Amino acid sequence: MIKPVGSDELKPLFVYDSEKHHALMHEAESLPSVVISSQAAGNAVMMGAGYFSPLQGFMSVADAMGAAEKMTLTDGSFFPVPVLCLLDNVDAIKGAKRIALRDPNMEGTPVLAIMDVAAIEEVTDAQMKTMTQKVYRTEDPDHVGVAAFNGQGRFAVSGSIQVLHFSYFQDDFPDTFRTAVEIRNEIQERGWRRVVAFQTRNPMHLAHEELCHMAMDRLNCDGLVIHMLLGKLKKGDIPAPVRDAAIRKMVELYFPPNSAMVTGYGFDMLYAGPREAVLHAYFRQNMGATHFIIGRDHAGVGDYYGAFDAQTIFDEEVPAGALAIEIFKADHTAYSKKLNKVVMMCEAPDHTKEDFVLLSGTKVREMLGNGIAPPPEFSRPEVAKILMDYYQSLDA
């Protein structure tokens, strides 16, 4: 099985031992505590679940700058984005060596993790500017990821953490949320050796489904892990339970038994395009995938990134040998009226735009909201039915 990044074994930060977990929860009641940002909470969940292994906690400013500027921490290890716990006020934890981190996304802000504080540093405007530019390739405050990153505060609290809860993800998505540890175990149990991962924050239409079949066939993979983002999205994105139901229906009807797993992870989308694509590859290797599909404008938003920047970054910027996972570079896929099947558009040079079934997201949403199923060349009818029910419920 593929090794985790930078280590022979996964290093999840969740405290699984029940006695130790109980003792830490009791200790947390007497510790200075602070409510962290949603982005920091997502980072804690990812560290707890082993996805960010071998990271041991939140980064110092020096490590965060190294990650942003050259994807390398001060100890020489590889990590593609800063993982910071940024706060706008640290009065409650000044001078504390051990603190409780509270979850902003759950009622009552329960304790999410305990941190051994290594440092509390004030991040300069110049440092924030550099990190923003390097990670997001823009400082535009209208970029949803830039706004979220810069809106957290300027005090970076760093140190190792012990994770005590998986936030709302485990409670709200018990059938879908899986840790990297659990996915690795299931891959092993299924006997898969070559595994391709597919990232999604949207329902999967026919083109996505066929892209997964295409990748599995060309890479000679035993299995596919459909890995769904369960964290905060941008306005207008379809809620996770609806996506989950639609994807499960597709797998049930159109994939052979024991060929696809539907899973999810808890994290707030960065919308950082190329740099986020590298992070996605990083934690897919940790969960046991040997290959990862990256298509056009992966993890992008608006017009901030070139169509294939998320692919070329692996050749141009990722340090050699940093990742063992292989990238399956995909173009936009669509149904060809000429060939009567879904193809990668770059592999059909004799086609014009009119030869493909192409529908904008706006048009599809409009059709679904009016109870009209998109054509079968675009979406499976069973999937469309689930989405139609959702959109029509919004107007009810």
CB contact at 8 A, 364 and 378? yes
CB contact at 8 A, 58 and 43? yes
CB contact at 8 A, 212 and 198? yes
Other C-beta atoms closer than 10 Å to the C-beta of 229 total 22
Give me the catalytic one of 98, 154, 194, 202. Answer: 202
Q: What distance in Å separates the CA atoms of residue 331 and residue 346, rounded to the nearest whole number?
A: 6
3-state SS, one letter per residue, for the chain: CCCCCCCCCCCCCECCCHHHHHHHHHHHCCCCEEECCHHHHHHHHHHHCCCCCCCCEECCHHHHHHHHHHCECCCCCECCCCCCCEECCCHHHCCCCEEEEECCCCCCCCEEEEEEEEEEEECCHHHHHHHHHHHHCCCCCCCHHHHHHHCCCCEEEEEEEEECCCHHHHHHCCCCECCHHHHHHHHHHHCCCCEEEEEECCCCCHHHHHHHHHHHHHHCCCEEEEEEECCCCCCCCCCHHHHHHHHHHHHHHHCCCCCEEEEEECCCCCCCCHHHHHHHHHHHHHCCCCEEEECCCCCCCCCCCCCCHHHHHHHHCCCCCCCCCEEEECCCEEEECCCCEEEEHHHCCCCCHHHEECCCHHHHHHHHHCCCCCCCCCCCHHHHHHHHHHHHHHHC
Omega before residue 54 within 30° of 0, cis: yes
CB contact at 8 A, 268 and 229? no
Q: What distance in Å separates the CA atoms of residue 201 and residue 237, rounded to the nearest whole number?
A: 8
Give me the catalytic one of 193, 194, 201, 365. Answer: 201
**Six-digit token pair at 281?**
């590859």
Annotated catalytic residue 178? no
Annotated catalytic residue 102? no
Q: Which residues are catalytic?
A: 201-202
